[in-house]
């Protein structure tokens, strides 16, 4: 069985005929923010959801993937209907009636095996979901047949192990990303209020220009730039662009760069910069966090805002891990992807000694501070803690998969996970313990 290697689908640009609001060419993908550095795991009790059954009668015609297929042979290298993929995209556009839009999408999804988070509101759509490739891509095809979506940048990567999300949540949401006060009041539909998107190759050139490898060019390089990681600290901990400061942020919701009034705050790289002369190079996983946050910075007077179009995922797919160190944190059950997931032929560069300097949290065990072998987080085995943390193999063994000694004595402990597994629902562990007690 062959898996779909990461596929990037960029529809040809066609004329938009009935968009009400201006559409920006920068159109892509996702983001989920966590209240704390915890991942909601499948242990979280959740309402059942396939709301497809509640969809209204506005059923659009089903699109046959074969008939409308826009993928080239090389993009779709698979021969197994059960190949699962993860799809991410986002798009800012004005929906006059977002709830009717949701109903249309739910109706199309009836009978499709799709799980994930798809949020719609007056300013657009933000989607990340998994499914067998035929179902997952049928939804993309259906969307792209609509002129309003024909130019969206859709990112597809292999799911590794079936669904990457526990269930489907396709609904109206007042905010497309979790942000303090929501994003409904932000001018997301106005491209001039967002950062200028740079294609991966332009981004790479920009990084090479401002941060050259050789000393000669270093002397001539411009220092008037800030490379801003618009993610959370724990995401930076397993991978980031070289030269980016670790974000002092646990949740995108509370990001506040450039908002301090007067005093210089060490944790705010934008606190003391010249808003007119400094280039702010912003990046995040898929681009939406930068797009949203750049509107806030624009409102604060920052002039030279650039963002990496399609985010790190799009960059790794196109450029490989040039100027990039480590893995990419993702907000689904895969948690961490190596650059080769996106560009199999690309070789990750060896991590340099200075990456592990004592003041850096990069690739460090949260318990003992030693270097971790695998750039992948795990949830604490204590279900009532569930903290998402990096841990070395010795500490995993010593603390039986817990984040601290206290958690090892908690009443609801799960077994230590091996490999790339994620924890399942609590009753599975509870019941297996009951059974083994009964057998004893
Ligand atoms: Zn350790
Ligand atoms: Zn814990």
Q: Lowest mean pLDDT: which of 83-87, 236-240, 271-275?
A: 271-275
Taking a C-beta distance cutoff of 8 angstroms, is the pair 163, 422 a contact? no
Pick the residue with more confidence: 59 or 90?
90
Distance in Å, CA 363 to ligand 1 centroid: 11
- In this prediction, residue 198 has a pLDDT band, given cuts at 50, 70 and 90, of very high
Q: Near ion ligand 1, which residues have CB within 5 Å?
A: 365, 367-368, 392, 395
* Mean of per-residue pLDDT scores for the chain: 80
Pick the residue with more confidence: 212 or 43?
212
Taking a C-beta distance cutoff of 8 angstroms, is the pair 161, 420 a contact? yes
Taking a C-beta distance cutoff of 8 angstroms, is the pair 321, 327 a contact? no
Distance in Å, CA 371 to ligand 1 centroid: 8
Distance in Å, CA 7 to ligand 1 centroid: 36
pLDDT tens, residue by residue, 347-361: 766 777 666 676 688
Distance in Å, CA 422 to ligand 1 centroid: 20
Distance in Å, CA 220 to ligand 1 centroid: 42
Distance in Å, CA 254 to ligand 2 centroid: 23
Distance in Å, CA 396 to ligand 1 centroid: 7
Pick the residue with more confidence: 46 or 321?
321
For the ranges 164-168, 213-217, 427-431, the one whose mean pLDDT is highest: 164-168
Ligand nearest the Cα atom of residue 392: 1
Ligand nearest the Cα atom of residue 366: 1
Given this model, what pLDDT does residue 387 score? 93
Measuring CA to CA, which residue among 341, 339, 301 is closest to residue 320? 339
SS3 assignment, position 103: helix
Pick the residue with more confidence: 224 or 125?
125
Distance in Å, CA 431 to ligand 2 centroid: 22
Catalytic residue (choose from 33, 251, 284, 402): 284
Ligand nearest the Cα atom of residue 403: 2
Ligand nearest the Cα atom of residue 397: 1
Per-residue pLDDT at 375 exceeds 50: yes
CA gap 403, 396 in Å, rounded: 8
- Kindly report the pTM of this predicted structure: 0.78
- In this prediction, residue 223 has a pLDDT band, given cuts at 50, 70 and 90, of low
* Ordered DSSP codes for 15-70: ---S-SS---S---------SSSB---TTS------GGGG--S-PPPPPPHHHH--
Average pLDDT estimate for 222-251: 90
Residue burial 173-194, b: 16+ Cβ < 10 Å; e: rest = bebbbbbeeebeebbbbebebb
Given this model, what pLDDT does residue 66 score? 31
Given this model, what pLDDT does residue 422 score? 86
Q: Lowest mean pLDDT: which of 227-241, 311-325, 396-410, 423-437?
A: 423-437
- In this prediction, residue 20 has a pLDDT band, given cuts at 50, 70 and 90, of very low
- In this prediction, residue 82 has a pLDDT band, given cuts at 50, 70 and 90, of low
Other CB atoms within 10 A of residue 286 CB: 27
- In this prediction, residue 429 has a pLDDT band, given cuts at 50, 70 and 90, of confident
Domains of the chain, first to last:
84-172 (3.30.70.100), 191-210+223-259+272-345 (3.40.250.10), 360-429 (no CATH)
Quick check: is 290 catalytic?
no
Pick the residue with more confidence: 34 or 360?
360
| Helix or strand holding residue 293 (H, E) | helix 288-299
**What residues does 300 pair with on adjacent strands?**
none
Ligand nearest the Cα atom of residue 364: 1
Distance of CA 208 to the CA centre of its chain: 25
Given this model, what pLDDT does residue 4 score? 33
Per-residue pLDDT at 16 exceeds 50: no
Given this model, what pLDDT does residue 222 score? 54
């Amino acid at each position: 069985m062959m898996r779909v290697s990461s596929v990037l689908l960029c529809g040809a640009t066609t004329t938009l005929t009935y968009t009400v609001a201006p559409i920006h060419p920068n159109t892509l993908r996702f983001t989920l923010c966590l209240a704390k550095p915890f991942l909601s795991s499948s242990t979280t009790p959740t309402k059942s959801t396939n709301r497809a059954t509640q969809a209204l009668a506005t059923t659009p015609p089903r699109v046959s993937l074969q008939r409308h297929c826009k993928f080239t042979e090389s993009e779709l290298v698979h021969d197994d209907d059960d190949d699962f993929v993860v799809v991410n995209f986002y798009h800012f556009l004005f929906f006059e009636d977002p709830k009717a839009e949701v109903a249309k999408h739910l109706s199309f999804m009836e009978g499709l095996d799709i799980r994930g988070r798809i949020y719609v509101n007056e300013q657009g759509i933000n989607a990340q979901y998994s499914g067998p490739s035929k179902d997952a891509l049928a939804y993309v095809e259906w969307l792209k047949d609509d002129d309003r979506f024909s130019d969206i940048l859709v990112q597809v990567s292999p799911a590794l192990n079936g669904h990457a999300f526990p269930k489907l949540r396709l609904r109206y949401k007042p905010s497309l990303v979790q942000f303090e006060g929501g994003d409904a009041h932000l001018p997301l539909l106005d491209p001039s209020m967002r950062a200028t998107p740079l294609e991966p190759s332009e981004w790479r050139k920009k990084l090479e220009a401002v941060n050259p490898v050789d000393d000669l060019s270093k002397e001539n390089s411009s220092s008037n730039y800030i490379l801003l990681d618009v993610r959370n600290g724990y995401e930076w901990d397993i991978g980031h662009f070289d030269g980016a400061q670790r974000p002092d942020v646990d949740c995108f919701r509370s990001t506040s760069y450039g908002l301090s009034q007067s005093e210089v705050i060490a944790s705010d790289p934008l606190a003391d910069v010249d808003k007119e002369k400094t280039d702010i190079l912003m990046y995040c996983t898929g681009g939406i966090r930068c797009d949203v946050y750049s509107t806030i910075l624009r409102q604060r007077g920052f002039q030279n805002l650039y963002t990496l179009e399609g985010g790190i995922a799009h960059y790794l797919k196109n450029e490989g891990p040039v100027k990039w160190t480590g893995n990419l944190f993702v907000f689904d059950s895969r948690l961490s992807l190596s650059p080769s997931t996106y560009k199999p032929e690309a070789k990750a560069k060896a991590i340099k000694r200075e990456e592990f300097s004592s003041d850096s949290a990069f690739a460090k065990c949260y318990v003992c501070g030693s270097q971790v072998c695998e750039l992948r987080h795990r949830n604490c085995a204590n279900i009532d803690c569930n903290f998402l943390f990096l841990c070395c193999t010795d500490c995993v063994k010593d603390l039986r998969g817990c984040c601290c000694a206290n958690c090892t004595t908690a009443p609801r402990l799960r077994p230590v996970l091996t490999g790339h597994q994620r924890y399942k629902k609590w009753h599975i562990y509870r019941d297996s313990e009951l059974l083994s007690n009964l057998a004893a």
